Amino acid sequence: MEMFFSKTPGTLVKHLPGAMREALEKSGALAKLQAYSLMASQFQAQGQNLQTFEAGPVLLTTEDPKTGQKVHITVENEAMHGDLDDIELSFQIYKNGQAQRTPFMPQITFSMKQEAQVWTLNEVSVTLHLPLADPDLLKAFTEGMKAGSTTNTATPTNITFPPHDESPVQPAGTDAMVLAAMRTILTAEVTYASSYPTVGFTCTLSSLDGFGGGEPNERQAMLINSGLASGKKYGFVFTLSGCTGTPATGFYLTAASNGTLDRRKAFCADQSGVIRSSDDGNAATCLASGVPVQ
């Protein structure tokens, strides 16, 4: 927050790596960067409301009063190992109080490193997921194509994504299919913790994702497919939580109906690998008093 929103000139430069500052100085660009103005004032000048938070998962929110659109930037996970601190941020767009369906929204990781007792921005990673089998994406694309056909337009236009509460019904899966997905994630967690012992278990499904090229890494271990890494499958929402400590020595995995299905069980597990269920469909009940699945 200090890097981008401090009123003190030169604060951003202070949090850049020494090698970057040296390169900027040699190129003559350092003087221009020193004059970096407060980002918050730019938003305010454009008529946008910006609010930052020093504690809690929400880092900042911005709102455009003219359109009613609000953006939340949330800290999904923070992992410290040694002199490194990885902060994973996600974005959520709201319009008139309704969460907007935005499958293209990226996840950004700021990798901070201590230099001379100052946290510097060592690396910025951007992960962009395009869930090609996602029902919302397919529905929006299909409707866009139909709209283009009726107006004799070759390229589909005005593709919008419905709010979460207007999502089409996802194909329901059997309990066996949901349990198989749970076991896939549990196995991936064990492999992940073994592969990246300084991190331990992860509470970010995208870190287990199998999409992309290059070598597996702690932000994309290539252990599960992207469909499951999206957290939505078979009409259920899969969620990881409870990854405390560095390295994280435990986690919770839950799977609960997304609300569009008839009454279904909720399933849950932890690092022990034992899967339990709750007949009331509530993930919290499952974690508290779930019955082991036979």
Q: pLDDT by residue (tens digit) across 35-87?
A: 544 444 454 444 457 777 766 667 777 777 777 777 777 776 677 666 777 78
pLDDT of amino acid 145: 64
Per-residue pLDDT tens over the stretch 91-125: 777 666 666 555 556 677 887 888 877 888 878 77
189/273 Cα distance (integer angstroms): 10
Greater confidence (178 vs 145) lies with: 178
| Residue 108 contacts residue 126 (beta carbons within 8 Å) | yes
Count of residues making up the chain: 294
pLDDT of amino acid 267: 95
153/220 Cα distance (integer angstroms): 39
pLDDT of amino acid 239: 94
pLDDT of amino acid 122: 78
For 260, which DSSP code? S
The pLDDT > 90 percentage for the chain reads 25
Beta strands, E only, the chain: 49-52, 58-64, 69-81, 84-95, 98-99, 107-115, 118-127, 232-233, 236-241, 252-257, 266-270, 276-278, 291-292
Confidence of residue 154 (pLDDT cuts 50, 70, 90): very low
Greater confidence (149 vs 164) lies with: 149
**pTM score, two decimals?**
0.45
218/90 Cα distance (integer angstroms): 17
Omega prior to 216 cis, within 30 of 0: no
Confidence of residue 273 (pLDDT cuts 50, 70, 90): very high
Tokens standing for residue 136: 């919302």
Mean pLDDT estimate for the chain: 75
Q: Which residues pair with 175 in a beta bridge?
A: none
Per-residue pLDDT tens over the stretch 188-219: 999 999 999 999 999 999 899 865 556 788 88
Please measure the distance between the N-terminal and C-terminal CA atoms of the chain and give it in whole angstroms. 49
Strand, helix or coil for residue 87: strand
pLDDT of amino acid 75: 76
Confidence of residue 167 (pLDDT cuts 50, 70, 90): very low
pLDDT of amino acid 162: 44
User: In one letter, which amino acid is 262?
Assistant: D
